[in-house]
Amino acid sequence: MALVWVPFAVAAHLAARDPEQLRWLVSATFLFSFAHQPLSLWLVYGDEGQRDAHRALFTWAPLVAVTAVAAGTAAQPAAIALAGGVWNLAHTLRQRYGLSRLYGRLRGFDCSSDNQLLWAWLSAAVVIGLARTDLAVLARQVGLDQRNTTAIDALASTRAAAAVFLPLAGAIAVALTLRSVRAECRRDIHSPARLMYLGSTATEPMPPSTSSSSGGASTVLRTNARSVTALVPLRDASAVAGPWASMPLPWCP
């Protein structure tokens, strides 16, 4: 699951030089994104016991959500698009934190500090993307219509502010990463699955994905690939890691 985003990123970059392929990829990405979201309530959170215990929630929540989105889209589509983007980022990050913490607990240690680390990485990635990318031009390159580009234009207007906050966001991300590395070095036992998962997450927002016209499609595809693979039952790879779990990490003194 840690590397499931790689084929999606490769597909986006291969399509970057062909506008028609890129438009098709973006359309498929949005279809993939919107199709899996209504299923998450039932497939991820809605086992039979939960559905029986909260039948009203599982019956009415999808209808309320569809009604709210339809009304909001008619009244203020830009606000709905921005809110949807923020939600997509936040809920995916919470999924990653949940998996990371579960892997830590399976090995018998607490890694709640991963929450701050992941938020720092996400904030730095967003600031880098806003500061280095002309989102308005990118949106038109991939053929988004006026309704969609209205929200993107609002984000693009924050480019100057993002450049100002870039050093701060980068410094916080680096500081929390170093803190996490030191904490990991002090442990006698590790979760290889957790470390691979965190390492894979750290590489996702790295340039050049934020500086090319394929970046948007690549990011959304990778994000939703993670969401869908969350449907797979959790299996701790470190449980079969054998001696790897207790070996010293190569970057520790």
Using one digit for the tens of pLDDT, what is the confidence trace for 116-156?
Answer: 999 999 899 888 888 887 777 766 666 665 555 666 777 77
> So what's the pLDDT on residue 213?
46
Rounded-to-integer distance, Cα 197 and Cα 137, Å: 33
Task: For residue 236, give every residue at least 6 positions away whose Cβ sits within 8 Å of its Cβ, in sequence order, or none.
Answer: 102, 103, 106, 107, 191, 193
Question: With 50 as the cut, is the pLDDT of residue 40 above it?
Answer: yes
The total number of structural domains that make up the chain: 1
For residue 161, the enclosing domain spans 6-235
Question: With 90 as the cut, is the pLDDT of residue 85 above it?
Answer: no
Contact 210, 129 (CB under 8 A): yes
Flag whether 135 is in a domain: yes
Question: With 80 as the cut, is the pLDDT of residue 192 above it?
Answer: yes
> So what's the pLDDT on residue 177?
93
State mean pLDDT over 24-48.
69
Question: With 90 as the cut, is the pLDDT of residue 174 above it?
Answer: yes
Flag whether 244 is in a domain: no
> So what's the pLDDT on residue 150?
64
> So what's the pLDDT on residue 204?
66
> So what's the pLDDT on residue 201?
81
pTM: 0.67
- Which tops the pLDDT comparison, 109 or 44? 109
Flag whether 111 is in a domain: yes
Flag whether 240 is in a domain: no
Flag whether 123 is in a domain: yes
Flag whether 243 is in a domain: no
Q: What is the mean pLDDT of the chain?
A: 73
> So what's the pLDDT on residue 172?
95
Flag whether 247 is in a domain: no
Flag whether 246 is in a domain: no
